[in-house]
Amino acid sequence: MLYAVLIPLLIACFIPYLSKFKDKIHTGIFVLFVPLSIFIYFLQFIDTNFVPVAQGYSWIPSLNISLDFYLDGLSLLFVLLISGIGTLVTLYSIFYLHKSERLGHFYVYLLMFMTAMLGVVLSDNVFVLYTFWELTSISSFLLIGYWHYRERSRYGALKSMLITVFGGLSMLGGFILLTIITGSTSIQEMISQTDVILNSPYLPLVMTFIFLGAFTKSAQFPFHIWLPDAMEAPTPVSAYLHSATMVKAGIYLIARFSPVFSAYEWFFIIVSGIGIITLCWGSYMAVRQTDLKGILAFSTISQLGMIMTMLGFGTKAAAFAAVFHILNHATFKGSLFMVAGIIDHETGSRDIRKLGGLMTLMPISATLALFGTFSMAGVPLPFLNGFYSKEMFFDVSLDLSSTSLFIAEIMKTSIPYLAVLGSIFTFVYSMYLFFGTFTGEKHLDELPSKPHEAPIGMLISPALLIVGVIIIGLIPNLVNEPLLAHAAKAISGEEVHKHIAFWHGFEAPLYMSLIVVIFGSILYIFRKKWTDIYLLIPGTLSLNKVYDRILDGSEKYSRKITNSYMDGSLRKYIALIMIATVLVTFTTMLTTDGFTIKTDDLAKVTVSEILIASVMVAAALGTIFARNNVAAILILGVVGFGLSVLFVLYRAPDLALTQLVVETITVALFLLCFYHLPNLRPRTESFKTKSVNAIIAISFGALMTMVAISAHSSKWFGAISEYFIENSYELGGGANMVNVILVDFRGIDTLFEIVVLGIAAFGIYAMIKLRSDKGVE
Amino acid sequence: MNNISEITHQLLIITTDICIAVISISIIMLLYRVIKGPTNPDRAVALDAIGINLMALVGLVAVLLVTTQLNDVILLTGILLFIGTIAIAKFLEKGVIIDRELD
């Protein structure tokens, strides 16, 4: 299984070389065999007596992360969808993309995506799952932005990236929490520890995080806004990623974790609630679109909402209906996207207002679209798979067990009505999509190119998918036991056996379907009369605007905040640093009860010390108030001298010597520089600034004094100087203890001090000699 | 005998203390000149005088502490004071300390 997952990535490494021959041979032909062989490999697993297969490969054993693959019914369904539709999409793209495009890039991204998607659905380890999940986000980003010279493509790519990566990261948080709760990184282990998870206090947090990941990826309300903008991608990408595979990753995630969470009563409320809102909103908004792919995008959103609703029900029958609709949606939506691509390719336009009357010009495409749209609408005909899953949806929505929660009760009564409402709009846009494009008047003069039937190669893939639609429609039990039953078992955790039949007798689901058809037809026929409602709802309100405002606003406000303190004034930065130091140190000292004053350990204060100290204080104050450069430096000299005298008083002759030399050199250096510096101007700041500065300075000084006093007052250990006193002559061979410490006991410090001086010297030399404006002179 | 030595010692300490106090007072008065000015040459001369007072102070401290370790400090202070005063004087006079070679 490892090879099946990684082969697309390996082949992708060779694509750049293969794409050099693209003038002779279309690069897609090489790629075609990759998903095809994966498809054939996984086809062998379809069996009524299928048992899950697990395989593990070591990756990071120390972190308990290994490439564990687990193939059960659900994974198998998704793997077959990914590789099967992947094959068809590759085939379609061979005819869709011209050889002048950058084919190498396209197929590298596509294969990357294929690996990522196979990895997502096969991984048993949550962190491996997350790795592949992010890879799908990145490859999807690259594919949406494939025509990167278009503004809209870049916008769509960025938007989808931001939203899906936001969800992906929160999902990672959920996974980490789950790992901590269960002590395992394997999903199957987690499922076996369902009780532990359900009793954990972090359960709501885990669910929120994981659901955010699933809802953003699967374009659920209100995160659906990236999907319509992702339609800027080439059509094969839209067909593959944004209808059949990637957007179902979130569905997969919910389905995968539904054995864990479905016992929790909020699972139904959140998943079904969001799902039903998405279903209604998506189908309602789809009617408003004028772009073929726009309609299909909102239709995808709404169908995903429908699958999500069914997953939220958590019953056996609902799980079965959900997987059935996953399969059905992938078939008819994939073909519809391809047909939309064909229309775009052959007429040069995707605007449904310009199209019309293409039935006679493009009869094959029209036939394919007819089956696709009618299946999507759920028209009750025995050869359309969409009808079966829609009726199952009605059926399971009527059959919900009751719980104690009030919200859940309300939802239970309203969901069947909302389902019918959403389906009515689904019917309307499906009819609009088909009849608006293929019947009515022709506007041939408005179209950029003269429409004609597509080349046969382009038609193969959608035709195969439509054949799939019809086969599943005619003999639904072909996929029932071998494939869907196992997938439903993986979701609900119990054996599921269901017989799909066209005819149930006169029961509620059938009446609901009939209501959908009747009201849908009425609404479609009179749609010109009521489309003004879109001016009212959503009117000018739009979630895209919210997104744009959040994005612009965050940029604007972060810039504002940054500009408010990063204004280039070093004085301000110093003030901020000092304030922060004061606040942090003061709070720390206060909370840890660090301020102590003890007087029992103090030496006697002598007169000379007091005098020297007062001289230094006076000189320091004089420096602050000096109005003249040279005066300031001369007064500062007094402080230096005072310090050396203090060293003398405290019996540190070496320090005093060094201090004197350094002081003299510093004065000389200051004088050297001051010649080139402007004279100190009289301080022009306002009194307020001055007093704020003074407060900061005084509090900083006071704090440091307090810290020093406290440090002196709380000695916990004796000094180690006894050792040096005893051993400086014995071991170091010198009577001058300071110097023995400097060069013997702690010589390495001295070494690096020397290095510092060397670097400073080199730096000064370099700064003086290597001036970039030297050549100008 | 012992008694006389004791008295001498006390006398020495008292004398040294008085000297330290006097020199400190003179440093404080010189500090007034350094801060007040009014011109920079005033400050430079005052700084020089402070330095010389410091030499004396260090010498007195050395007497008080009965040590010869501080003699280096006194000598170094002398040299550095000289150099520093020359530098300041040159700066005040010509505006630079180190002349560039005239090439």
Contact A735/B at CB under 8 A: no
pLDDT band per the 50, 70, 90 thresholds, residue B48 = confident
Distance CA B8, CA A524 (A): 124
Shortest distance, CA B5 to any CA of chain A (angstroms): 25
Q: What is the mean pLDDT of residues B3-30?
A: 87
Q: What is the mean pLDDT of residues A214-224?
A: 88
E strand or H helix that includes residue A68 = strand A65-71
Distance CA A392, CA A4 (A): 34
Lowest mean pLDDT among A222-226, A258-262, A633-637, A707-711: A633-637
Q: Which residues of chain A neighbour B87 with C-beta distances below 8 Å?
A: 667-668, 671
Exposed, middle or buried by CB within 10 Å (0-12, 13-18, 19+), for A404?
A: exposed
- Which of B27, B30, B81, B85 has the most A C-beta neighbours within 10 Å, making it the best mutation to test the interface with A? B27
Q: What is the mean pLDDT of residues A661-685?
A: 72
Is residue A184's pLDDT more than 60? yes
Angle, CA of A581, A584 and A587, to the nearest 5°: 140
Lowest mean pLDDT among A257-266, A672-681, B69-78: A672-681
* Contact between residue A323 and residue A429 where contact means Cβ atoms under 8 Å apart: no
pLDDT computed for residue A385 by the predictor = 82
Q: What is the mean pLDDT of residues A156-177?
A: 92
Distance CA A348, CA A447 (A): 7
Query: Encoding tokens for residue A24?
Result: 């002779």
* Contact between residue B20 and residue A607 where contact means Cβ atoms under 8 Å apart: yes
Query: Encoding tokens for residue A58?
Result: 């070591």
Is residue A432's pLDDT more than 90? no
Is residue A773's pLDDT more than 80? no
Query: Which sign, positive or negative, has the C-alpha torsion A382, A387, A388, A394?
Result: negative
pLDDT computed for residue A402 by the predictor = 64
For chain B, the first-to-last Cα distance in angstroms comes to 74
| Cβ contacts of A643-650, under 8 Å, gap ≥ 24 | A643/A616, A644/B54, A644/B73, A644/B77, A645/A612, A645/B54, A645/B57, A645/B58, A646/A609, A646/A612, A646/A613, A646/A616, A648/B57, A648/B58, A648/B61, A648/B70, A648/B73, A649/A606, A649/A608, A649/A609, A649/A612, A649/B61
Q: Shortest CB distance from B69 goes to which of A644, A653, A671? A: A653
Tell me the pTM.
0.80
Helices (H), A314-441: 316-347, 363-377, 385-398, 406-438
Nearest residue of B to residue A638 by CA position? B47
Annotated domain spans of chain B: 2-94
CA distance to A301, A634, A664, A669, A671, per residue, from B87 (Å): 83, 12, 10, 10, 9
pLDDT computed for residue A500 by the predictor = 66
Is residue A414's pLDDT more than 70? yes
Which is more confident, A224 or A500?
A224
Q: Name the region of A723 (left: φ>0; alpha: ψ -120 to 50; beta: rest).
A: alpha
What confidence tens digit (pLDDT) does each residue in A82-102 have? 999 999 999 988 888 888 888
* Contact between residue A260 and residue A211 where contact means Cβ atoms under 8 Å apart: no
Nearest to A425 by CA among A302, A559, A514: A302
Contact A614/B at CB under 8 A: yes
Q: Shortest CB distance from A668 goes to which of B27, B95, B97? A: B97
pLDDT band per the 50, 70, 90 thresholds, residue A167 = very high
Q: To 10 degrees, the CA torsion angle through A240, A243, A246, A252? A: -130
CA distance to A189, A210, A308, per residue, from A197 (Å): 11, 13, 22
For chain A, the first-to-last Cα distance in angstroms comes to 70
The one-letter amino acid at A61: P
Helix (H, G, I), strand (E, B) or coil at A71: strand
Q: Which residues of chain B neighbour A626 with C-beta distances below 8 Å?
A: 35
Other C-beta atoms closer than 10 Å to the C-beta of A714 total 12
Q: Which residues of chain A neighbour B24 with C-beta distances below 8 Å?
A: 607-608, 611-612, 615
Q: Which residues of chain A neighbour B54 with C-beta distances below 8 Å?
A: 641, 644-645
Distance CA A121, CA A248 (A): 10
Contact B65/A at CB under 8 A: yes
Is residue A751's pLDDT more than 90? yes
User: Alpha-carbon Rg of chain A, whole angstroms?
Assistant: 37
Distance CA A329, CA A306 (A): 11
pLDDT band per the 50, 70, 90 thresholds, residue A138 = very high
Backbone angles phi, psi at B88, to 5 degrees: -65, -40
Q: What is the mean pLDDT of residues A71-85?
A: 89
Q: Shortest CB distance from A622 goes to which of B35, B51, B88? A: B35
pLDDT computed for residue B102 by the predictor = 57
* Contact between residue A249 and residue A272 where contact means Cβ atoms under 8 Å apart: no
Q: What is the mean pLDDT of residues B23-29?
A: 86
Nearest to A220 by CA among A253, A198, A187: A253
Backbone angles phi, psi at A22, to 5 degrees: -65, -20
CB contact residues (below 8 A), chain A span 177-196, against chain B: none
State chain A's mean pLDDT as an integer.
84
Lowest mean pLDDT among A339-348, A592-601, A728-737: A592-601
Q: Which residues of chain B neighbour A671 with C-beta distances below 8 Å?
A: 87-88, 91, 97
pLDDT computed for residue B1 by the predictor = 60
CA distance to A250, A265, A284, A437, A529, per residue, from A517 (Å): 30, 34, 16, 20, 19
Contact B69/A at CB under 8 A: yes
pLDDT computed for residue A468 by the predictor = 86
Cβ separation A675–B54 shorter than 8 A = no
Distance CA A511, CA A516 (A): 9
Distance CA A305, CA A274 (A): 7
Cβ separation B84–A637 shorter than 8 A = yes
Is residue A378's pLDDT more than 90? no
Cβ separation B87–A641 shorter than 8 A = no
Nearest residue of A to residue B78 by CA position? A660
Nearest to A307 by CA among A408, A425, A218, A427: A218
| Cβ contacts of A130-133, under 8 Å, gap ≥ 24 | A130/A168, A130/A171, A130/A172, A130/A175, A133/A168, A133/A171, A133/A213, A133/A217, A133/A249
Is residue B39's pLDDT more than 50? yes
Q: Which residues of chain A neighbour B61 with C-beta distances below 8 Å?
A: 608, 648-649
Contact B20/A at CB under 8 A: yes
Q: What is the mean pLDDT of residues A178-202?
A: 86
pLDDT computed for residue A777 by the predictor = 44
Nearest residue of B to residue A658 by CA position? B73
What confidence tens digit (pLDDT) does each residue in A248-286 have? 999 999 998 888 888 887 888 888 889 998 998 888 888
The one-letter amino acid at A325: H
Q: What is the mean pLDDT of residues A560-579?
A: 87
Distance CA A317, CA A163 (A): 32
Distance CA B42, CA A634 (A): 10
pLDDT computed for residue A559 by the predictor = 92
Distance CA A67, CA A119 (A): 9
Q: To 10 degrees, the CA torsion angle through A172, A173, A178, A184? A: 50
* Number of cross-chain residue pairs from A and B with Cβ atoms under 8 Å apart: 109
* Contact between residue A57 and residue A88 where contact means Cβ atoms under 8 Å apart: no
CA distance to A280, A290, A414, A522, A538, per residue, from A417 (Å): 11, 27, 5, 18, 21
| Cβ contacts of A712-718, under 8 Å, gap ≥ 24 | A712/A598, A712/A601, A713/A596, A713/A597, A713/A598, A713/A601, A714/A594, A714/A596, A714/A598, A715/A601
CA distance to A273, A297, A584, per residue, from A286 (Å): 20, 8, 56
Q: What is the mean pLDDT of residues A107-120?
A: 91
Q: Which residues of chain B neighbour A635 with C-beta distances below 8 Å?
A: 34-35, 43
Lowest mean pLDDT among A357-366, B8-17, B91-100: B91-100
